[in-house]
Structure 1
């Protein structure tokens, strides 16, 4: 494993930032990666009118994206899976020992559902809050890591 590396994921359904610090949280937080998912910020109407819809249809009933906010929810799920895949790759590279996640409750739930078991075992703490718009220098004061 990485020598006591802590990753901190701070985000919401449309953007996230991943930071790293030592597991004792005594060092500065270093930005590892920034993520944007523009479709999650788009209006539901705009998503419905996209001609190339990779999420069209389901096996059981009408297409979810035709329901109110259905396509938006699909995009939120897609972003959660994207973040989960990045965390899996980080785990496989032994890039972190522990993980802290700060996200609003609804997106945190989506993310928890798609995290792999091996990443879930590294989660030290979940914080139910949206700090995605805070400047990086303020995050260590808001996100408890010890």
Structure 2
């Protein structure tokens, strides 16, 4: 198992991956994943309104889709990030994983991670920190990044 600690800072559009060998050390950005489809406004993607169903009583009822476009795109991007993390874990590129994401994306990412990758997560922050520079970002984490239990 690698001594490398990976810090993943993500939202539904961007995932930035940072690494450090020292729990007390500075972090360095090593990869960025982008999902621009999540930026598209819902209205721009829908060409027609949801279908309407007639009721026997007066009035109409509009049927809503079970999942919005943004929820689908969030799930797709979370799966992409999880796949990247799973492949890197399998290749031995890290031994400890720290996650920071807004609550909705953090939940989607948790669901998408396989059990072995999820077991390496030692810290989660439910904040959107994607736009911060490296120094400002590091201040949002504990001074000592936690290492996985061996």
TM range (shorter): 0.7 to 0.9
For this pair of structures, how many residues does the alignment match? 128
- Give the corresponding residue for 1:52: none
Q: 2:128 is matched with which residue: 123, 127, 130?
A: 130
CA distance in 2, matches of 1:47, 1:99: 35
SS in 2 for 1:94: coil
Residues 54-93 of structure 1, C-alpha deviations (whole Å, 9 max, x = no match): xxxxxxxxxxxx7387111100100000000000010010
Alignment of 1:94-133 (within 5 A): 94-133=92-131
Larger Cα-atom Rg: 2
CA distance in 1, matches of 2:119, 2:77: 21
- Give the corresponding residue for 1:26: 24
CA distance in 1, matches of 2:16, 2:82: 13
SS in 1 for 2:20: strand
- Give the corresponding residue for 2:7: 8
Structure 1: runs of 5 or more not aligned: 50-65
- Which structure has more helix as a fraction of its residues? 1
- TM-score, L = length of structure 1: 0.82
Provide the aligned C-alpha RMSD in A. 1.6
CA distance in 1, matches of 2:75, 2:27: 27
Structure 2: runs of 5 or more not aligned: 48-63
Residues 82-118 of structure 1, C-alpha deviations (whole Å, 9 max, x = no match): 0000000100100000000000111100100110000
